[in-house]
Amino acid sequence: MYDFVIIGSGLGGLESAYMLSKEGYKVCVLEKNRQLGGSLQIFVRDKAIFDTGIHYIGGLDEGQNLNQCFKYFDIMDKLKLHKMDEDGFDVITFDNDPVEYKHAQGYDNFVERLTAQFPKEREAIKTYVNKIQEVCDYFPLYQLKENNSPSVGIKYLDDCASDYIASITDDVKLQNVLAGSNPLYAGEAHKTPIYVHALVVNTYIESSYKCIDGGAQIERHLSRNIKAQGGEIRNYAEVVKIVEKDGFIRHVELKDGEIVEGKHFISNIHPANTMEIIETDKLKNAYRHRLLGLKNSTSAFILDVVLKPNTFKYRNNNFYHYKRDDVWSSAHVTGKDWPDGYCIFIPKSSKPGEYADSMSILSYMQLEEVKEWEDSFATIPHNRDKRGDDYEEFKINRAERLLDEVEKKFPDIRQCIKSYTTATPLTYRDYIGTKDGSLYGIAKDYKDPVRTFISPTTKIPNLFFTGQNLSMHGVLGVTVGAIRTCGAFIGQNNLINKINKA
């Protein structure tokens, strides 16, 4: 019998497994797919490497929060990293406007670079960065600080990001530039809280890095370290039942009928998915219905492009482009008006030379766009339903429409393409395992902030949650969530102290 059985090998599951196995617990991680890591997964097409989710990472400079966490996980010195353009790691652009608006690394540099483009708005930009830092300071776990208060309270949880940004400047272009990277958190006008915006952008402004040859190296090193500490990780191990008896979870049942017993169980899958497979009457219907009824963030259409050799020079930044001066509404554009904007992420390869091997182009897409194929499933190696020729035609049509938009910014892009593959919300659902194919799990709403916070503990004493649905998504958000989960056993302040001493 294991001390801990962890369902799902996403980042939160692996980090939890590392922390618990480091403390001497007997741990087993169960993953339904072939590849481990959830959004850390990579894939290869025509010898080019693509990330499925981790396109860049922030907070990795010496002394910064994620750097310190990765030292504790014993992976920081093993990662192959490339620092992005310090004067413009993110570039925000708009139709009918030739200017590239840049987000710079370092808060002073961020202010100076944007002030050069908006010379009358220095005070507004300074007010903005001060607010971002003020909000982040309010969340001690994100700063790896001990927190003895029972709750952080609701300050900043019920403040709206778009409303706040609009309140500090009348310059609509600047408003949109400041919020221009909001596909990092699927931001929505009059809904997304300021703390979500702040915690996400802060980590990248502090420092921004690409993982050379993809983010799967994080999973690879974490997995090796877990196994070195005696932990067990199993793929092709899909959990189909979580079975409770006498008030405690006793075991999980795998798809092949195998029973895996444990003393404690941590679900790294979506809370709603957890509710669908748990057999118990110990959870109130109101609790189940709340988790099952939470709205998830939007999904996306991805065009992963293999580039012809020596045709497209590597750009050391990401691009966020919009057709209108309204960065908050793109997620809801469907049908003939799609796409309303896109992001471009250019992977950093270990191959020498000044040219890029590939690029990933992402545009928001609602699940309803692919609803007619939602009853088909494609996972490796099982359940690979053919979704049909009409689905393939849909993807080609959307890929070409997306390229039509990208071509306005990069006129020769089609001549650079060797091949491409596509992913839809169904791909996210099946391969990454996210509910409804959502990019970032449960959507946060400043009008009802407490409802979208999920506690790592449940009414069943030995069942816990971790992952992007607890507090926040992203590498740092998931890491903080894993600290919250494992803090229930190791002691949260004790664990933070150990991380800071790593």
The 10s digit of each residue's pLDDT in 24-68 is: 999 999 999 889 999 999 999 999 999 998 999 999 999 999 999
Residue 140's pLDDT band (cuts 50, 70, 90):
confident
The pLDDT of residue 379 is: 65
Residue 471's pLDDT band (cuts 50, 70, 90):
confident
pLDDT tops 80 at residue 152: no
Of the two residues 386 and 327, the one the predictor is more confident about is 327
pLDDT tops 60 at residue 382: no
pLDDT tops 80 at residue 216: yes
Peptide bond before 339: cis, by omega within 30 degrees of 0? yes
Q: Please give the single-letter amino acid code of residue 190.
A: H
pTM: 0.94
Which token pair is 94?
């708009």
d(CA 58, CA 16): 21
The pLDDT of residue 150 is: 44
The pLDDT of residue 433 is: 77
Between the two ends of the chain, the Cα-to-Cα distance in Å is 31
The pLDDT of residue 451 is: 82
Q: Which domains does the chain have, with CATH numbers?
A: 2-41+215-295+449-500 (3.50.50.60), 81-87+100-211 (no CATH), 298-439 (no CATH)
Q: Based on C-alpha coordinates, what's the Rg of the chain? A: 22
- Average pLDDT of the chain, as a whole number: 94
Q: What is the pLDDT averaged over residues 163-185?
A: 97
The pLDDT of residue 435 is: 84
The 10s digit of each residue's pLDDT in 348-358 is: 999 999 999 99
Task: Provide φ and ψ at 130, rounded to 5°.
Answer: -65, -40
The 10s digit of each residue's pLDDT in 291-332 is: 988 899 999 999 999 999 999 999 999 999 999 999 999 999
The pLDDT of residue 384 is: 59
The CB-side HSE value for 104 (13 A sphere, CA atoms) comes to 15
The pLDDT of residue 177 is: 98
The pLDDT of residue 383 is: 58
Neighbours of 380 (CB within 10 A): 14
Q: What is the pLDDT averaged over residues 11-28?
A: 98
The CB-side HSE value for 46 (13 A sphere, CA atoms) comes to 14
Residue 151's pLDDT band (cuts 50, 70, 90):
very low
The pLDDT of residue 203 is: 97
